[in-house]
């Protein structure tokens, strides 16, 4: 039992980092799994998908800097296709126990069109590869969820604590909030993440606020999973609802060991600079920001 609880703790922390998250999980926590068998696919309703990409296989265990794409797509009833609606790349540096999240507005120009179309044409992997190409990094893992899955995840963990940066009064997204730290359910967390009409620069502020929601989810999961019972409960809950592709117990264990050392309060939440227009060009300083991010996932000059 002690070994099982220890593994449960690592799985929980892995979830926290991977999810950073639009907020995420792992899959089927059975006795056989805890005993060391290969991770099964989700045994409950799917809340998210986690895929390991080819770059992770080539690199082996993540002992050096590695990158995770976090994607919220807009697939929902009554809408065809699934564009990337929330786009974030987290760089993790295990050597310094630090991480940085770069937020990419969905309308950023990439290969002659908006970067979020990569998800509609090639799914999460295609979107992750597009983000990696834009930022100049190799993305090793991609975590994705749609609107209903995101809400179900937040509700499933009992809501998350979000530090709402400003007053929100937007009937389009349904975001009606006073500033400050507060617990939100899935509907509220999604409303904050979708709100762009309250801000002069629209999607730019919205993208930054999505990062705030992700970090709030990470802090909430860590806070509510203190102690063996809490760790096991949250890990088991999340484990039932994530669909894994290319991930094994070894991957989860290694990532969990790294994630356990990260402090969410020190994770930088930075939105890339862009210029105006229907297709947003890269703003001044973007190339140096990307280079600063790519070398060690730590921003020394930004």
Q: Note the pLDDT of residue 283.
A: 95
Q: Of 144-148, 190-194, 216-220, 275-279, which has the strongest mean pLDDT?
A: 190-194
Reported as a pLDDT band with limits 50, 70 and 90, residue 257 is low
- Looking at domain 2-157+227-296, its CATH class is alpha beta
% of the chain with per-residue pLDDT over 70: 71
For the ranges 133-142, 223-232, 272-281, which has the lowest average pLDDT?
A: 223-232
What residues pair up with 169 in beta bridges, in sequence order? 176
What is the residue-averaged pLDDT of the chain? Answer: 79
Share of the chain above pLDDT 90, in %: 49
Confidence bin at 81 (pLDDT 50/70/90):
low
Q: How many CA atoms lie within 13 A of 69 on its CB side?
A: 38
Mean pLDDT of 15-36: 34
At residue 262 the predicted structure's pLDDT band, cuts being 50, 70 and 90, is confident
What are the φ/ψ torsions at residue 139 (nearest 5 degrees)?
A: -85, 125
Asked if the model's pLDDT at residue 267 lies above 90, the reply is yes
């Amino acid at each position: 039992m002690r070994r099982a609880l220890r593994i449960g703790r690592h799985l929980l922390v892995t979830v926290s980092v991977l999810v950073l998250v639009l907020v995420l999980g792992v899959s089927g926590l059975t006795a056989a799994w805890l005993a060391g068998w290969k991770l099964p696919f989700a045994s409950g309703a799917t809340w998210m998908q986690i895929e390991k990409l080819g770059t992770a296989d080539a690199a082996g265990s993540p002992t050096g800097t590695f990158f995770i794409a976090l994607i919220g797509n807009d697939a929902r009833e009554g809408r065809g296709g699934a564009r990337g609606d929330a786009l974030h790349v987290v760089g993790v540096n295990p050597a310094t126990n630090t991480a940085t999240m770069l937020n990419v507005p969905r309308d950023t120009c990439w290969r002659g069109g908006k970067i979020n179309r990569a998800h509609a044409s090639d799914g999460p992997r295609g979107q992750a590869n597009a983000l990696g190409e834009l930022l100049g990094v190799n993305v090793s893992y991609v975590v994705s969820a749609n609107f209903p899955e995101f809400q179900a995840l937040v509700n499933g963990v009992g809501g998350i604590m979000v530090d709402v940066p400003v007053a929100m009064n937007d009937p389009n997204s349904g975001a009606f909030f006073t500033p400050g730290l507060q617990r939100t359910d899935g509907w509220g967390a999604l409303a904050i993440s979708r709100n762009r009409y309250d801000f002069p620069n629209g999607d730019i502020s919205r993208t930054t606020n999505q990062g705030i929601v992700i970090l709030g989810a990470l802090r909430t999961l860590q806070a509510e999973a203190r102690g063996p019972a809490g760790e096991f409960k949250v890990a088991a809950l999340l484990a039932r609802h994530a669909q894994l592709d290319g991930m094994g117990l070894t991957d989860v264990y290694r990532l969990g060991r790294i994630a356990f050392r990260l402090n969410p309060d020190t994770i930088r939440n930075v939105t890339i600079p862009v210029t105006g227009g229907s297709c947003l060009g890269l703003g001044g300083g973007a190339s140096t920001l990307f280079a600063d991010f790519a070398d060690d996932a730590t921003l020394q000059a930004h």
